Structure 1
Amino acid sequence: MTDRVSVKPLWMPSRNFVEQSNLKKFQNWLFVKKGLYFKNYHDLWDWSVTDLEDFWESIWQFNDVKSHSLYFDVLIRSSKDFIGTKWFRGATINYAEHIFRHKNTSRPAIMYQSEREPLRELSWRDLEKQVGAVAAFLKQSGVGVGDRVAGVLPNGPQAVIAFLATNSLGAVWSSCSPDFGTASVLDRFQQIEPKVLFLTDGYTYNGKAYDKLPLIGDLIAQLPTLKKTVLLPFLNPQSKLSQAVMWGDVLKTPFSTLEFTPVPFEHPLWILYSSGTTGKPKAITHSVGGCLLEHLKALSLHQNVKPGDRYFWYSTTGWMMWNFSVASMLVGATLVLYEGSAAFPNLNVLWDLAEKAKINHFGGGAAYYIACMKAGINLQGYKFNQLQTIGSTGSPLPSEGFEWVYKTFKKDVWLISLSGGTDICSGFVGGCPTLPLYAGEIQCRLLGCKLEAYDEAGQPVKNELGEMVITQPMPSMPIYFWNDSQNQRYRASYFEDYPGVWRHGDWIQITEREGVVIYGRSDATLNRDGVRIGTSEIYSAVESVEDVADSLVVCLEQEGGKYFMPLFVVPAKGQKLTDDLKSKINHELRTRFSPRHVPDAIYAISEIPYTISGKKMEAPVKKILMGMNPAKVASRDTMRNPQSLDFFVKFAPEKLSV
């Protein structure tokens, strides 16, 4: 499996770069303060995953984390698995407070641009003023510690302000992007019962305006716990809504000073959502302290973000990379935001932004870089004087993508390919400023993350394809799933395959250099251009079409970073899969959810494979279509209708090309 990885490094850090890196400064600090010396990164990593208590306490101390009370223990392990593990018991902290430790008058807090607006800046003074006003409004609305506040907002400063205000009160934030359909939003927010909802009147994408006002009334009506709704007029400054308070009026709420409510380390910070492979999306709840420590570690040590740097990651408010990019403010960065399509009016729009905003750290999905590469975009004339790193995530970046970066940009730019997930709101594997970079290979396993590749017998392997697992707890692992009182969904999501070990659902290879190559998802989650989509969302829309009896969808990773998402449908009795029926299916998916939910092709099938317990067998079907031995990926003895697999075994491989 090593042919995807080059032998010669694409990038080598200079001696000066290494010496000035945050990681080297951390190692020097460990030597001076703790008497710990590590010959290289791999020795440091080994210590970080062996002596967890000392490592995470060192992250706390190195970053001078502010606690309003003393902690008694760094780590109290759960006896069965990672669920219930306690970190820094007794500590009381506030995430937003750590962001505002970096306020100053010499640089902006946030820079932002959209398809409709030029690049603008928000000062720390104005950020503090607006966060204080929104916090005062929330408090007047009855929001307190532990209450939920939700947002359906564009990727502008208002979403950041609403989050910081929520967190300053010890309340819990949750967010969807405006391109989510009403059904998707309700599937998420009905679970968490928010008290206040921030909404936009619409959004723009690819130069087209999407009016959300007609849908807002129905959304509000189905969230009975709401005390207040706030409307942000993004499309039309004159937008009004009788059930809502206007954003501008909220900003007029009087307050004296912005205060921060300290909460226990394990208190909820925000609720993110799984893709909903089975049933409704899982409401993954992260802790204030866990995310604080993880983000300080990941952004400072593994991405080398420093005070005064400008940090950008192309995202929406519905993807965990939005939360991760906001976290760059924890280490003193200016956050750069963009709202809109990365391809409108052309693929140069984000590179134009990088030049204008003097971005130091530029991030995006692997699919964006692949699109730029295929389009042969012209970046001659761009200087990129300030650009230090280019980050890639969302899906595996192929070797060709690595090589394109170094053919297109300056040779000393550092490409950081990282992979993690909503599950920890960070990365498991990513960049290292002291190691060389090889095409197709992620540089390292991140500090504090005991990641292994397991073979079919559950044994760790190297230079072989294996299941990605985590064998030691991390502070930013979920504290729980909302409304999962017995942790049944939590345990089923990660701990059913290997007792006491987190199975993540990726196929990986750990190379002889201790780098990591990711080959795609091993479970049923759909990964469409770096955005995970739940199969249950697809089924709810497709099977609502009158002429469809049943359906199954998979997403196949292909060479060169391509993806192919076929949908297999069983037409209702007496019906055929016509072009008209295909159009109805695609229309339902696009309008109820998003364009990403629309398949690349639709095929008719007589029956869908099911287990005896009634579960659709997406993962075995995906593996069969990817060429794996059918006898090894599915036990026909555990199937309700074993003959249904024959279709996929015989399915012509040439049909699965785009």
Structure 2
Amino acid sequence: MPGAKWFPGATVNYVEQVFRHVDRASAAGLPAIVSRNEKGDHREVAWPDLRRQVASLALHLRSQGVQPGDRVVGYLPNIPEAIVAFLATASIGAVWSICAPDMGTQAVLDRFKQIEPKVLIACDGVTYSGVVYDRTEVLAQIRAALPSVRHVIVHENIGTASSVADCVRFDRVVSRDDNATASFEPQWLPFDHPLWIVYSSGTTGLPKPIVHGHGGTVIVALTTLAIHCDIGCSYKQSSFGERFHWYSSTGWVMWNAQIGGLLNGTTLCIYDGNPGGTKANPDWTTLWRFAADLKVSFFGVGAAFFANCMKAGVEFSKCGDLSSIRALGTTGSPLSEEVQSWGSRQFAALALSNGNQEQADIWWCNISGGTDFAGAFIGGNRELPTIPGEMQCRLLGCAVQTFDEHGKPVIDAVGELVCTEPIPSMPLFLWGDTDGKRLIASYFDTYPDNYDGTGRGPAWRHGDWLKITGRGTCIIYGRSDATINRHGLRMGTSELYRAVEALPEVVDSLVVDIEYLGRESFMPLFVALGTDVVLDEKLKGKINDAIRIALSPRFVPNAIYQVAEIPRTLSGKKQELPIKKLLLGQPLENVINKDAMANPGCLEWYRGFAEKYLNRDRTNA
């Protein structure tokens, strides 16, 4: 690594792997996609119609001069049209990339400008948390800033598409049904032909445009979903078939992972909207009721969702008939033992009432991977026991180890997650990184040689803290660059969050360790509290006691501050490192991209806090 070559001379197409299921799944009467949104709009796309729409759009793109290697970008929410657009693009060898419509103009341009797309497929707006957002003005700004775009296709999502000039309508483009669409076949491509470009945002600089290939993505998606997540073909399951749901926006790589279910003939169940209801009427039963109505069999979502459900006191028995669910998937952040045990108890209670014994010991398929290689390093295995708070195993084909501070492999100790051998879906390259220096700096500079004695070249450093237990299970402790090192003891932030957020008064939290050379560190804890809860001395003592008992007195924070919100990215990750850099004196605009945040409005409070903190520090120096 990097530069490994897989199956030279072989040809493949991602979409061909999807289309091979059309006849059998259709004969079984099973849909390819079942979709619902906040407004209750329900749609189903049959397998033959999926193939027809993909062929229709692919032929249209070809008629507009799109060639293999050209970039086609989407500005679309999690709806069937986004899936059709991706498959059509990939089927003719063009390269796909997508941004979610909740992203700001600059965040989108920071991504799309780098790859110079020829075609833009967008929506006119979105509905989220009960609010309709017209995006036609943003769309106009994006078009104006992308001179490479020669053709625009607009999907009418909120009814304002008619105001978009010089475009064609998506529904008309995919309406073709003739001999050409019936005979259309995806184009065979080299195994490592670029499939899509995804983005990994750093705290500074432009997002990395990561290019993955057709063949490697297919292999890793099938390994992860079909084998480790045990997601089967729809026509081999129950009367409803396998119905796979993993909640995601199009701005998170789990959207790409969800589409991977089509590679195995699975019915996708997708939801467009806020999983927690609206600000005026929070409702953490939304996705559970969606799963009950659609008879979802594999229910996946970010780990924070389950924690929010527990906090909200959600009772699964009141969410409809959930007897179809046979597996739960989580990712995005560490899932605590407490939350997993709570969910297991809920399903055990369901099993008593509905007689589905499979739910009595519900299987949790907790995975950890990354946008960087569109896959997972760690995940589930149906044949292994489930231990709350732990992931069952390292995945097939993933030479994952934990390195200590000396670059040596360790067991039963927290260290850097590294991969010492190549994986087929690792990046082909970063777009525009002609000499490969940015790719090497991003993943391979830390361990330029394998420190396990093999001498086989560099190891991939992923940026997570990991412990591999003597049993072979794995525990993720959060990002390695956000780890706390207090009084010689190193600890991942996830363990502190687990202790603090178990308190009913605490909704969310963030901790940073401000270290100074030759001076004692300062570690503030920021907490978002429940409605009408005030951070008084009694609650501070309760929080400190929880940390002292669960972790160690060493990790009691220097100070606790009540905040309205914890800053998070669009994919839900806490912004620990940017806040740490802010408190170390770096300007806010240099450490964080507001357009890539879910709640940028909260940053002004942190800016003000940092100014006061730094002034105090200078006064006391």
Tell me the TM-score normalised to structure 2 length: 0.75
Question: Do the aligned residues in 2 keep the contact of 1:131 with 1:258 (CA within 8 Å)?
Answer: no
Instruction: Answer with 347-356 or 401-410: which moved more.
Output: 401-410
Distance 1:571-1:275 versus aligned 2 partners, 3 A rule: closer
Q: Counterparts of 1:218 and 1:226 in 2: how far apart (Å)?
A: 12
Q: Counterparts of 1:359 and 1:504 in 2: how far apart (Å)?
A: 32
Q: Structure 1 residue 570: deviation in Å? A: 8.5
Deviation digits for residues 256-312 of structure 1 (CA, Å, limit 9, x no counterpart): 322110111111010000113331000000011100100111111101111111111
1:119 and 2:42 matched: yes
Runs of 4+ that moved beyond 6 A: 553-562, 588-592
Q: Counterparts of 2:524 and 2:6 in 1: how far apart (Å)?
A: 38
The aligned runs of 1:92-241 (5 Å cut-off) are 92-103=11-22, 104-105=25-26, 106-236=29-159, 239-241=162-164
- Residue 79 of structure 1 corresponds to which residue in structure 2? none
- Residue 408 of structure 1 corresponds to which residue in structure 2? 346
Instruction: Answer with 471-480 or 117-126: which moved more.
Output: 117-126
Q: Structure 1 residue 354: deviation in Å? A: 0.7
Question: Do the aligned residues in 2 keep the contact of 1:528 with 1:596 (CA within 8 Å)?
Answer: no
The aligned runs of 1:522-541 (5 Å cut-off) are 522-523=480-481
Instruction: Answer with 268-277 or 561-570: which moved more.
Output: 561-570
What SS class does the counterpart of residue 374 from structure 1 fall into? helix
- Residue 223 of structure 2 corresponds to which residue in structure 1? 297
Deviation digits for residues 443-487 of structure 1 (CA, Å, limit 9, x no counterpart): 000010010110111000011111110001100100100000111
The aligned runs of 1:433-448 (5 Å cut-off) are 433-448=382-397
Give the aligned length: 498
Question: Do the aligned residues in 1 keep the contact of 2:124 with 2:160 (CA within 8 Å)?
Answer: no
Aligned mate of 2:8, from 83, 89, 92: 89
Aligned mate of 2:187, from 241, 257, 261: 261
The aligned runs of 1:351-370 (5 Å cut-off) are 351-370=288-307
- Residue 347 of structure 1 corresponds to which residue in structure 2? 284
Amino acid at match of 1:397: L
Q: Structure 1 residue 494: deviation in Å? A: 0.7
What SS class does the counterpart of residue 256 from structure 2 fall into? helix
Question: Do the aligned residues in 1 keep the contact of 2:107 with 2:595 (CA within 8 Å)?
Answer: no
Q: Counterparts of 2:255 and 2:51 in 1: how far apart (Å)?
A: 20
1:316 and 2:253 matched: no
What SS class does the counterpart of residue 6 from structure 2 fall into? strand
Q: Counterparts of 1:320 and 1:310 in 2: how far apart (Å)?
A: 20
Q: Counterparts of 1:593 and 1:400 in 2: how far apart (Å)?
A: 28
Aligned mate of 1:422, from 359, 363, 371: 371
Aligned mate of 1:515, from 473, 476, 479: 473
Q: Counterparts of 1:337 and 1:223 in 2: how far apart (Å)?
A: 30
Deviation digits for residues 134-161 of structure 1 (CA, Å, limit 9, x no counterpart): 1111011111111110001010000000
Distance 1:563-1:198 versus aligned 2 partners, 3 A rule: closer
The aligned runs of 1:633-652 (5 Å cut-off) are 647=617
- Residue 399 of structure 1 corresponds to which residue in structure 2? 337
What SS class does the counterpart of residue 258 from structure 2 fall into? helix
Question: Do the aligned residues in 2 keep the contact of 1:555 with 1:564 (CA within 8 Å)?
Answer: no
Q: Structure 1 residue 246: deviation in Å? A: 1.1
Distance 1:460-1:263 versus aligned 2 partners, 3 A rule: same
Question: Do the aligned residues in 2 keep the contact of 1:567 with 1:602 (CA within 8 Å)?
Answer: no
Amino acid at match of 1:513: R
Q: Structure 1 residue 384: deviation in Å? A: 1.7
Q: Structure 1 residue 523: deviation in Å? A: 2.6
Q: Structure 1 residue 386: deviation in Å? A: 1.4
Q: Counterparts of 1:392 and 1:186 in 2: how far apart (Å)?
A: 30
What SS class does the counterpart of residue 108 from structure 2 fall into? helix
CA RMSD of aligned residues (A): 3.2
Q: Which runs of 5 or more residues in structure 1 are unaligned?
A: 1-81, 530-552, 609-643, 652-658
Amino acid at match of 1:179: D
Aligned mate of 1:329, from 252, 257, 262: 262
Question: Do the aligned residues in 1 keep the contact of 2:105 with 2:595 (CA within 8 Å)?
Answer: no
Question: Do the aligned residues in 1 keep the contact of 2:155 with 2:161 (CA within 8 Å)?
Answer: no
Q: Counterparts of 2:343 and 2:132 in 1: how far apart (Å)?
A: 33
Higher relative contact order (CA 8 A, sep 6+): 1
Question: Do the aligned residues in 1 keep the contact of 2:57 with 2:174 (CA within 8 Å)?
Answer: yes
Distance 1:508-1:597 versus aligned 2 partners, 3 A rule: farther
Aligned mate of 2:321, from 383, 398, 402: 383
Amino acid at match of 1:125: P
Amino acid at match of 1:153: L
Distance 1:132-1:419 versus aligned 2 partners, 3 A rule: same
Q: Counterparts of 1:95 and 1:266 in 2: how far apart (Å)?
A: 11
What SS class does the counterpart of residue 261 from structure 2 fall into? helix
- Residue 559 of structure 2 corresponds to which residue in structure 1? none
Deviation digits for residues 508-544 of structure 1 (CA, Å, limit 9, x no counterpart): 111111110111101369x999xxxxxxxxxxxxxxx
Q: Structure 1 residue 183: deviation in Å? A: 0.1
Q: Structure 1 residue 186: deviation in Å? A: 0.4
Q: Structure 1 residue 434: deviation in Å? A: 0.5
Deviation digits for residues 205-241 of structure 1 (CA, Å, limit 9, x no counterpart): 1100111112221110111111101111101166331
Amino acid at match of 1:436: P
1:279 and 2:205 matched: yes
Q: Counterparts of 1:179 and 1:427 in 2: how far apart (Å)?
A: 26
What SS class does the counterpart of residue 35 from structure 2 fall into? strand
Amino acid at match of 1:519: Y
State the identity as a percent. Answer: 41
Question: Do the aligned residues in 1 keep the contact of 2:124 with 2:161 (CA within 8 Å)?
Answer: no
Q: Counterparts of 1:260 and 1:133 in 2: how far apart (Å)?
A: 12
What SS class does the counterpart of residue 484 from structure 1 fall into? coil
Question: Do the aligned residues in 2 keep the contact of 1:87 with 1:475 (CA within 8 Å)?
Answer: yes
Q: Which runs of 5 or more residues in structure 2 are unaligned?
A: 235-241, 348-358, 449-457, 484-491, 495-522, 528-542, 551-571
